[in-house]
Amino acid sequence: MFVQYKTVSINDINIFYREAGNTSNPTILLLHGFPSSSHMYRNLITKLMDEYHIIAPDYPGFGNSDQPEMDEFEYTFDSLAQLLNDFIQKLKLDKFSIYVHDYGAPVGFRIATKHPERIQAIITQNGNAYEEGLLPAWDPIRTYWEKPTEENKNNLNALLSADFTKYQYTNGTRNPERISPDAWNMDQFVLDRPDNKEIQLALFYDYRNNLKQYPNWQEYFRTYQPPTLVAWGKNDIFFGSEGALAYQKDLKDCEVHLLNTGHFPLEEELETSANLIKQFLGERLK
């Protein structure tokens, strides 16, 4: 068993992705968050690839994928989801489970609502779909939504700094010394690329449209009832545990685990997360 590192052209944009496991096994599509990439799944992939076929792409402007200019690609969550939908079709993924983290939720839930017949199960790890999950750390971004002035925009630059990237990984963890600096250094390398800051600020601004989609996603949950595993870092500064518990309102088969860690649970709760996924999907994808 080994991990392959591939690139495929989607609408003239080179999309990097990691692939592992036997294609005859159930597929899990891993959708990453901010400010990360498929690199956040580097350890999870090796834990799952003996039983599952794993696909983990990088979005445009993230990780090892191309970073098209802003006048060449519209950096919105609608556009990211459409491009990932084209990616799914190109790879001929007919049925799969989605694992969503942070930004992966608005991307993945758009894909799910557009093609509910493809989704076998959902794993959400700090991937939010409910207003009650949004904590006060969103206030500076909400201010920018309400008043998109240069001043309010510039106030968000701190969220793109090396200090804050490290903070996202270490805050809320039980033992920060167990978190590898490779994770935040890899993310920051991409954030510091020329013109990447404007891309991230555009996505911060567009995130307001995700909140408008929450009712649609919740309706999808109620209508199609995908089996859902919620394995949430309960000390996340952005997405509170209320957002994790809220899934139970709309889903009958919904298993919630609140893990004593921060925004990136895989850094500190890899074994627990992998075991939960294997147990949950093993019982439902027979």
| Nearest by Cα to 270 from 235, 224, 215, 231 | 231
CA 61, CA 34: separation in Å to the nearest integer? Answer: 11
Residue that has been written with the tokens 């859902």 in this structure: 228
Q: Locate the DSSP E strands across the chain.
A: 3-10, 13-20, 27-31, 53-57, 96-100, 119-124, 228-233, 254-259
Structure tokens, 109: 């839930």
Q: Is 115 a catalytic residue?
A: no
Residue 203, CA distances (Å) to 75, 87, 106, 208 in order: 6, 20, 11, 9
The one catalytic residue among 32, 39, 101, 263: 263
Question: What region, left, alpha or beta, does residue 265 occupy, with left being phi > 0 and alpha being psi -120 to 50 degrees?
Answer: alpha
Residues designated as active site: 263
